[in-house]
Structure 1
Amino acid sequence: MQTFFTPEQLEDPGIAEANKILRACVHCGMCTATCPTYQVLGDELDSPRGRIYLIKDMLESGRPADARTVTHIDRCLSCLACMTTCPSGVDYMHLVDHARVHIEKTYKRPVMDRFLRAVLAQIIPYPKRFRAALGLAKLGRPVRALMPDRRLRAMLDMAPDRLPKPSPNDKPQTFAVPDRRKRVALMTGCAQQALDTDINDATIRLLTRLGVEVVVPEGMGCCGALTHHMGREAQAHASAGANIRAFMKEMLGRGLDAIVINASGCGTTVKDYGHMFRDDPLAADAAAVSALAKDVTEFLSEIDMPEADGGLRVAYHAACSLQHGQKIREAPKALLRRAGFEVVEPENSHLCCGSAGTYNLMQPEISAELKARKVATLEARAPQVIAAGNIGCMVQIGSGSDVPVVHTVELLDWALGGPKPAKMGG
């Protein structure tokens, strides 16, 4: 793609990188075939190719973002299916990230948009605040119909009927093991500390049973993904910087073999810390942290997990952040089969379920359509349980299906001697 940035514009490292990405695009249109929003809306501007043209025009002009461009960029899920499909290797992820920062800095959103985005950014990354907000949302359901904005109604709908009690395992501590094989740090996440404490509990049980010492580092918090995808660069970097320092303290202290992450949305972001901080004094530390980050299934595949006899038919949902963001496709399925489960996959497994961080709250209509499609394809395989590797996907799919939805690691833990996942009636 031909670009027309001025020499002065190209002195900005962000513009220079965007220029390189834009010039890699040959506008072949292959990305449209796997773009969920294009599948639903059929609008060229709601495809990666259309958004790339909008971003090019916005950045080249040097002007503030306009409402039309913001609408179509906001509708992007950042599922990254386009990057899996693209034959030219266009780095759409970093291009749309840059566009969102530009929008955040130059575009004045309507008052309600600003309010909702600020609320989400100040609540979801903080487990205690998020837990309190979910409790209040449940109380607000009786007046749902009176809510003036569809997104407020979506937020009320998201609140579960019951919240688990906080898990003591999420506090900073070390889970020591005899005859230690490995030592890892576990990123406990933020949303799942409020929504589903069973995931971290199962992860710790499984890893320690396999001879892996697990540390929950002091000072660790939200990975920064949620605010990063909102274009709130300073807040995202503050969260990420705190994690980098927390992980480096463990690495320089007793050492780490890996940073294990069981929420694939977080994993994609942590693995990108090196890029996020490339021009920052923390660049070397950020790159070291990114190099150690592993999805829990990626790590388990490397330590020779024992075989077991799970015995259930499992529909595996591939989270976009895992299959497209981290390029991890076979490891979760191979581990489930090794644990004795029959693994089936839905049709169009490459398409997003519509969760995508805060997308199901900010774009509820598109999200609902994607959820309905995903649930239908999963249930068509007649599974006894659905497995996924990301809390957002689990909540999204679980809200539309009567089939139990559990984390992959919960099934592996159960097959190797742990308790049956509570969501399965255990």
Structure 2
Amino acid sequence: MQTNLADFIKHTREGQEADAILRSCVHCGFCTATCPTYQLLGDELDGPRGRIYLIKQVLEGQPATRKTQLHLDRCLTCRNCETTCPSGVEYGRLLDIGRNIVEQQVDQQGGRPLAQRLQRAVLKEVLPRRWLFSPALKTAQMLRWFLPESLLNKVPARQKSGRWPRREHARKMLLLDGCVQPAMAPNINAATARVLDALGVQLVVAPKAGCCGAIRFHLNDQDGALADMRRNIDAWWPLVEAGVEAIVLTASGCGVTVKDYGHSLAADPAYAVKAQRISELSKDLSEVLPQFEAQLAQKLKGRISKRVAWHPPCTLQHGQQIRGKVEGVLRAAGVDVKLCADSHLCCGSAGTYSVLQPELSYQLRDNKLANLLESKPDMIVSANIGCLTHLQSGTETPVKHWIELIDSALLAA
């Protein structure tokens, strides 16, 4: 694709990156076949190819409008199109650049409607701050039965985390505790710690670490997101220097962001080298557990009789390009695990998308659940807190993180 970027962006780092991405696109349209929003809406501008053209126009000097912004807002950032693309177009990076510039231009024209500005401000200020989000969620959980359905879907029932193992091990890994997950599903990280403890690995947490930066970044507060990333690097660095083997990520949405720290902070001379090292150490939990498959098989073979449907999050299969590892671990542990039809498609959660684009989000959720429940599973398992909460809001079938299944079987062994 030929480009002629405008002077305001041409010689910047973002402009050079966007130019290279745009030139790699051959306009083949394969991406539209796997785009969830294009499938629902049938509008070229609500598919990757159309959005690429909208971004190209803005970067070449055509002023952005609220309509431009709407089509970019509707993108789930699922990155299914990247998996499909034969030319390797890095659509996700281009979208981040385009959204940021469109936001700036629309702000100069009066900005978003007030209700949208307030909604987005609350999301980016409350969700990343555990000291704000945790008490707010607890209050909502106490009032759960009085909440309207639109809010009830976002408030999971209270969960217990169980004990955190206290044994010391020579092998140590660092855990990203996260921001919303400890309040919404505290058992996930505790279960991870217990499973790794049983396998001879100690999981440690840096108290001053927090949100990975994904929430602010995808709400176009990129400066705030970079501040979150720097804070995490500062919190983790002493443990990195002490020799932790890996940074374990139990939420694939966080994982895809942390693995990108090296790119996000590449232009920051104070953090570029450290950020790259953090990215290199970062491992999704499904990349850590395969080395223990033989041990798990010995401990658990025949102990898990549940029929399980596996939902691979987009941030795992498309963002991190990890496929088959969770299924391999579960099958080694004796689990009858099934993928559903159209398992490559997004469930509609997509971070804050289910709040900002509820109509499209719930259509995608219902489509996904129809496929997942086709095999009549006893349980649905996934690997991202957003997917778990979103799917659970539409079904009585339990929806859990896959590590909780392994943990419960080990506890019963």
TM-score, scaled relative to structure 1: 0.90
How far apart, in 2, do the equivalents of 1:100 and 1:234 lie? Answer: 14
1:363-410 Cα deviation digits (max 9, x unpaired): 000001000000000000111111100111111111111111111111
> Structure 2: which amino acid aligns with 1:207?
L
How far apart, in 2, do the equivalents of 1:335 and 1:68 lie? Answer: 45
1:141-177 Cα deviation digits (max 9, x unpaired): 7574xxxxxxxx73454123x32368785xxxx9543
For the Cα contact (< 8 Å) 2:163–2:190, is it kept in 1? no
In the other structure, the counterpart of 1:278 is 266
Q: Matches of residues 117-266 of structure 1 in structure 2 within 5 Å? A: 117-137=120-140, 139=143, 142=146, 144=148, 154-160=150-156, 162-164=157-159, 169=164, 175-178=166-169, 180=170, 182-252=171-241, 254-266=242-254
For the Cα contact (< 8 Å) 2:6–2:61, is it kept in 1? no
In the other structure, the counterpart of 1:103 is 102
> Structure 2: which amino acid aligns with 1:24?
S
For the Cα contact (< 8 Å) 1:183–1:213, is it kept in 2? yes
For the Cα contact (< 8 Å) 1:176–1:214, is it kept in 2? no
Q: Quote how far apart the aligned CAs of 1:2 are.
A: 1.0
Quick one: structure 1 residues 413 and 167, their matched pair in 2 at CA, closer, same or farther if it must change by over 3 Å?
closer
Q: Which among 296, 303, 314 is matched to residue 285 of structure 2?
A: 296
Quick one: structure 1 residues 260 and 32, their matched pair in 2 at CA, closer, same or farther if it must change by over 3 Å?
same
In the other structure, the counterpart of 2:31 is 31
For the Cα contact (< 8 Å) 2:191–2:407, is it kept in 1? yes
In the other structure, the counterpart of 1:149 is none
In the other structure, the counterpart of 1:115 is 118
> Structure 2: which amino acid aligns with 1:249?
P
Is the aligned partner of 1:43 residue 2:34?
A: no
What is the RMSD of the two structures over their aligned residues, measured on CA atoms?
Answer: 1.9
In the other structure, the counterpart of 1:21 is 21
Deviation >6 Å, runs of 4+: none
For the Cα contact (< 8 Å) 1:206–1:418, is it kept in 2? no
> Structure 1: which amino acid aligns with 2:384?
N
For the Cα contact (< 8 Å) 2:188–2:404, is it kept in 1? yes
Quick one: structure 1 residues 185 and 155, their matched pair in 2 at CA, closer, same or farther if it must change by over 3 Å?
same
Quick one: structure 1 residues 343 and 156, their matched pair in 2 at CA, closer, same or farther if it must change by over 3 Å?
closer
Counterpart secondary structure, 1:380: helix
How far apart, in 1, do the equivalents of 2:117 and 2:8 lie? Answer: 32
Quick one: structure 1 residues 56 and 230, their matched pair in 2 at CA, closer, same or farther if it must change by over 3 Å?
same
How far apart, in 2, do the equivalents of 1:54 and 1:9 lie? Answer: 15
Moved more, 7-16 or 348-357: 7-16
Q: Quote how far apart the aligned CAs of 1:101 are.
A: 1.8
Q: Quote how far apart the aligned CAs of 1:137 are.
A: 4.3
Q: Quote how far apart the aligned CAs of 1:284 are.
A: 0.5
> Structure 1: which amino acid aligns with 2:173?
V
1:303-335 Cα deviation digits (max 9, x unpaired): 444202222211000100000011111110000
In the other structure, the counterpart of 2:411 is 418
Q: Which among 388, 394, 398 is matched to residue 388 of structure 2?
A: 394
> Structure 2: which amino acid aligns with 1:79?
C
Q: Matches of residues 351-362 of structure 1 in structure 2 within 5 Å? A: 351-362=345-356
Structure 2 alignment gaps of length 5 or more: none
Structure 1 alignment gaps of length 5 or more: 145-152, 421-426
Quick one: structure 1 residues 357 and 6, their matched pair in 2 at CA, closer, same or farther if it must change by over 3 Å?
closer
Number of aligned residues: 402
